[in-house]
Each structure stands twice: as C-alpha cells, then as structure tokens.
A and B are shown apart, each in its own frame.
Chain A
Amino acid sequence: MIHLENIVKTFPGKEQNIHAVRDVTLDIEEGEIYGIVGYSGAGKSTLVRCINFLETPDSGTVAVKGFGAYSVQGKKILRKAEGSDNYVTAKTGDLQELRRDMGMIFQHFNLLDRSTIFENVAYPLKHTGLSKEEIKDRVVELLELVNLTDKINAYPSELSGGQKQRVAIARALANKPLILLSDEATSALDPDATESILNLLKDLNKRLGLTIVLITHEMAVVKTICDKVAVMEDGRVVEEGKVYDVFSNPQQEITKKFVSTTIGMGNVEKLLLKEASPIKPGEDGVLIKCIYDKDCVGEAVISETSRKYNVNINIVLANVEMIQDSPLGGLVVIVQGDDDQIDKAIGHLRACRVEVEVIEDGRMARIHHA
C-alpha cells in the first residue's frame, strides 16, 4: 500500500544539521494498522509527513498504491504514474491530489475554531464537484460514522478533546481515503477518550479496510490496536515486525525499554534490582524472569520443571498481557535447590521456549563470601 524507500530528511540547524530521518525503508501493507513508535525527536513525525509530502524528503521514494511513485532527486519531485516506467516532474496538483486521498489527524486536532462542526467536516469537500446537498449528506454520514451527529452545529470549543478528535477523524475521511495518517492523535487525550478513539480507529480499519499509519510515543497504543510496529531511534528504524513478536521478543535496548513501559513486568524489574529489595534469591537460589509466548501459555512448564529437577520454584510475580488478542505471559520466580539442578532447570525452561533472564544469582554471592 505504502512503500518508503531510502527516505532521508535533514533540517538545517544553527550549529549542525539535524538528521531527522536517516535512510528509512518501510513497507506498509493494505488494511494494516502500522505503528511507528519512538521518543520525541526520533524522527517519526517527519517520516510520516514525508508520506503525504507535508515535508519533502531530501531524497528517497514514496510509492502509494493508486498514485504511482514519487521520487525526490536533487531538489525536484519526480512522479512515476501507476503502470508507467518513466519519472516525470510532478505538478503541484499531483501532490494536492495525493493529499486529498490521504486523511491525516493530529495531536491538537487542528479544527477551525470559527467554523461549526459541519463546516469543519465539509472543508475538504469543497471544490470536489459535489453539490451542496451531496456535501450535506456526506457530512451527516461522516458524523454518524464517528457518532457525533448531535454536534453538527456546535463550535469546536464546545466539544471535549475526544469529541474534537472524532470531528478531525470525520474530516480526514471526507474524501473516502484508503489511508489515514495519525500523528500522536491520542497524546493529548485522557485515558477514556484515548480508548474510545483507538476503538474507533480499529473499527474504521475493520469496516472500511482503512490502512492506518499511527505515530505514538505510547507503547500501550501500539499494544491495543497495531498489527505491526516500527521502532525509531535517532532517525532510523531500529526494529520492525509484528506487534506480538516485538513484544514477546524485543531485540534492541530501546525496544525493551518501550515494551517494559506497558507490560506489568517492566516496573517490577526496577523494584527487584534495588539494594534494599525484600525479594532476595537467598544463598542457594536464583532470581529469574521468564517470558513465555502464546505457544506455551497452556503448558504446565513450571510445575513440570519443579518436579523433574527437584527444585523449589517460588513465584514472586506472574502476569499475562493480551497483545493482538494473544496472551503473553511473564513470571518472576526464585528457583532454589542444588546448584547444578538449578542450571538444569533453567536449561529445561529455555528448551520449552521460555525466554529466561537471570536477574540475581544468589549462588554467586555465596562463592564470593567463601
């Protein structure tokens, strides 16, 4: 649906240039909710603005299904029409057309304060050849879609944040786009409103087959609605994949950090690592963290291990997260027993595809003391 290739964008800075996006290549499939997550300044907003050319990349190619490919070479924007092989200089009208068929919503809604909800939603419908009656019908239809028909004559200032974002979504969908770009759309909303907006997006994705590119700094948002996620750091995509895979097996440090913000296990680790923590493995025990995915949630791995290797497994914390409707489990346990049996037990857990991380090894302390 959207193919980004070697996108580079640098902003001139006073002392040094700011490399907002450094050579990013991404593929976004049709009908997918694609999350781009990263800290502020990671370049995610700039990247998504390169898709509809709100920012013109310094170089790279943006291909959008139905619109051909746009390539930036030197200072020129070239366009290759769908089915054609040759790049020609793009006209301003081309880009406007591309933008018209790609909805975008923002963190601060960006509604026109002096226009009613009706006028706001009707904004992109002007000059599209629709008659006044048709525009009216379409606006009502759109407001029904976001469940706000009763506010049609209100002004944005009379609406709550969540309602404003609904209006913005209706406005973004006015021209029946196939793609919706969402730039931190829930970041200014309270938890309730966030949830309802995310549900709405998910619903639109399912009902209209809308492809959604969603930028956020909150991993919880990704967990709730995204199919795929890309993690950005310092202008690069450092990790990409299906949300469940990224959550169950994060590779990069930053991804681990992000994942730990939304998984219950994340904060526990900090607690356990404190010097004064009451949870200590003891001199014959090992404190470990286990993450197990949907394939072994149903198995009695722990009690099996305990019996087989004659070790005591003391569960300190257990947690199951639902990600993309699949469970992802986490455990913090103290394994106590004979030294070599402990190692074997951990080996067995690993053999059962449980990801094991040793947090504190009590046996080490004993060796040091001796």
Chain B
Amino acid sequence: MGEWLASIMPNVMSYTDKFKESLAATFQMFFISGIFVFIFGCFFGVVLIITKEGGICENKIIYRIVNIITNIFRSIPFVILLIFLIPFTRTIVGTSIGVKGAIVPLIFGAVPFFTRQVEVALSEVDPGKVEAAVAMGSGKLGVIFRVYLHEAVPELIRVTTVTAISLIGLTTMAGAVGAGGIGSFAINYGQNLHHQDIVNVCVIVLLVIVSVIQAIGNGLSKRTTNHSLFNKNHNA
C-alpha cells in the first residue's frame, strides 16, 4: 500500500509530517474562526432583522450602521482585506502570521457574508408569526429566540453550510500570505517546488472536506425541516 502510494505521489509521501501539520492548521483556522463567525453573524443578522423598518425594535440608525459596515467589508476582496488588516491583527493578537494571525482576517472576511445570509434566512420567517407572538405577549427576546431563530433553523443550517464552505476557501487564501494550512502547503511545496502530485492531493483533500460539510448540512437541514412541509397535497 505504502509503496503504491509512494509511486503515485512520491512528494506527498516524503512530506507527510508537513502535510498533516497543514491539515491540522486548516482545521484550527476553520473551527476557531468558524465559531466567531457563527456567533457574530447570527448576532448582526438578528440586529439587522429587528432594527429594520417594521421590525420589532425598529431603529434606523443602528440598522444603517450595521448595514453599511456589512456592505463595506463584503465588497473588499479577501486577499486585499488580509493585507489591509495586518496592522490591526498585530495589535490584537500580537502577530499577523500563522494560524493566530489568520483568524482575525478570516472573521472579518466571513462575518459580513454570514450576516447577510442570516438576515435573508430570518426575513423568510412570516411576519404574521412574529405578530402572533407579540399578540400573545412575547417580549423581544421571546420573539427572537422562539419565533425567528426557531422557525428559521433549516434555513440557518443551509446558510451556515454555505458559509462554512466559503470559509474553507478563505483559509486556503490566507495560506497564501503566510497563515499555514493546506493552502500554503499547496503553494509552497506543490507550486513552488513543481510537485504537481502535492497540488493534486490538496485539491482532493479540499474536495472531500467540502463534500463532507455539504452532506452534514443537507442532512441536518432535512432533519430539522418538518418533513410533511413538502407534502402539500392535503393542505387546504
């Protein structure tokens, strides 16, 4: 087995430690920044939905501020954002390279994207349900957690999946500017040393990761959706 692998991808086999290290770095970046992205994204998505015109805490000023900041950071290409944030990252985490240095720009890159997605997911919740909850005496937190977030779970899972996949993409880009991980492994050991097999293996590994995320997302989304929702035949 080992011999066969060595024959089709000799360079990968000679850098296995480096490869495992890169893989671990990718996962580290992905999970640590992912947690922050999820929390901040949900938070700002909820803020947008409730401060929007007609929302339960209508507030034009807050809505505008969050909306504009989200738009600005969404429109900056990630590679530029990486360089742009270097001084800021340094003051916050002390370094701008390695896994640690990559997390800050990853959060800044993915939160605005996820915020928008959450906003869209929540805006699909029927305003009538919100009204009914208010009419039943629910407070603002009650409406947010028991109606908005509760009713939008399948949709939130779907957008989380999309964001997770794009976050994997961002971690590899961060690799290009010295963050480590699969991205930098492919560039430094594959591209720069002309080891095509390393690039190929990196592509396959990324494909597998993305497929697994997508499959988990689809499964969860399906399970949380009320199944008979799709069976509309006997509905009035």
Q: Which residues of B contact A174 (CB under 8 A)?
A: 136
Contacting B at CB under 8 A, from A89-110, are 92, 96-97, 99-100, 102, 104, 106, 108, 110
Contact with A155, one of B134, B137, B151, B226 (Cβ below 8 angstroms): B226
Q: Which residues of A contact B154 (CB under 8 A)?
A: 114
In the complex, what distance in Å separates the CA atom of A104 from the CA atom of B142?
A: 18
Any chain B CB within 8 A of the CB of A189? yes
Contact with A157, one of B126, B150, B226 (Cβ below 8 angstroms): B226
Any chain B CB within 8 A of the CB of A339? no
In the complex, what distance in Å separates the CA atom of A168 from the CA atom of B132?
A: 10
The count of A-to-B residue pairs whose CB atoms sit within 8 angstroms is 82
Q: Which residues of B contact A92 (CB under 8 A)?
A: 139
Any chain B CB within 8 A of the CB of A171? yes
Contact with B234, one of A97, A112, A158 (Cβ below 8 angstroms): A158
Asked if B136 and A54 sit within 8 Å, CB to CB, the answer is no
Q: Which residues of A contact B232 (CB under 8 A)?
A: 157
Any chain A CB within 8 A of the CB of B224? yes
Q: Which residues of B contact A159 (CB under 8 A)?
A: 235
Q: Least Cβ distance of B131 to chain A in Å?
A: 6
Q: Which residues of A contact B131 (CB under 8 A)?
A: 54, 106, 110
Known contacts A92-B139, A114-B150; A157/B132 CB under 8 A:
no
Contact with B129, one of A99, A110, A127 (Cβ below 8 angstroms): A110
Asked if A161 and B135 sit within 8 Å, CB to CB, the answer is no
Q: Which residues of A contact B126 (CB under 8 A)?
A: 108, 110
Any chain A CB within 8 A of the CB of B229? yes
Q: Is chain B's interface secondary structure helix, strand, loop, or mixed overall?
A: helix
Q: Which residues of B contact A111 (CB under 8 A)?
A: 129, 132
- Residue interface bits A159-170, CB-to-B below 8 A is 1, else 0: 111101000100
Asked if B147 and A112 sit within 8 Å, CB to CB, the answer is yes
Q: Which residues of A contact B225 (CB under 8 A)?
A: 114
Question: Range of interface residues on chain A?
Answer: 35 or more
Q: Which residues of A contact B86 (CB under 8 A)?
A: none
Any chain A CB within 8 A of the CB of B192? no
Any chain B CB within 8 A of the CB of A190? yes
Q: Which residues of A contact B147 (CB under 8 A)?
A: 112
Any chain B CB within 8 A of the CB of A124? yes
Contacting B at CB under 8 A, from A190-249, are 190, 193
In the complex, what distance in Å separates the CA atom of A71 from the CA atom of B179?
A: 62
Known contacts A114-B226, A160-B236, A161-B236; A54/B150 CB under 8 A:
no
Q: Which residues of A contact B150 (CB under 8 A)?
A: 112, 114-115
Asked if B137 and A124 sit within 8 Å, CB to CB, the answer is yes
Q: Least Cβ distance of A18 to chain B in Å?
A: 14
Any chain B CB within 8 A of the CB of A113? yes
Any chain B CB within 8 A of the CB of A309? no
Known contacts A104-B132, A123-B146; A193/B236 CB under 8 A:
yes
In the complex, what distance in Å separates the CA atom of A160 from the CA atom of B224?
A: 22
In the complex, what distance in Å separates the CA atom of A189 from the CA atom of B235?
A: 12
Nearest 4 interchain pairs by C-beta: A161-B236, A100-B137, A110-B132, A110-B128
Given A111-B132, A160-B236, A164-B236, 6 more pairs with CB closer than 8 A: A54-B135, A106-B128, A113-B226, A114-B225, A124-B138, A155-B228
Q: Which residues of B contact A (CB under 8 A)?
A: 126, 128-129, 131-139, 142, 146-147, 150-151, 153-154, 224-226, 228-229, 231-232, 234-236
Q: List 21 A-B contacts (CB under 8 A).
A: A96-B138, A99-B134, A100-B137, A102-B135, A104-B132, A104-B135, A104-B136, A106-B132, A108-B126, A110-B126, A111-B132, A113-B229, A114-B151, A157-B226, A157-B231, A157-B235, A158-B228, A160-B234, A162-B236, A168-B132, A174-B136
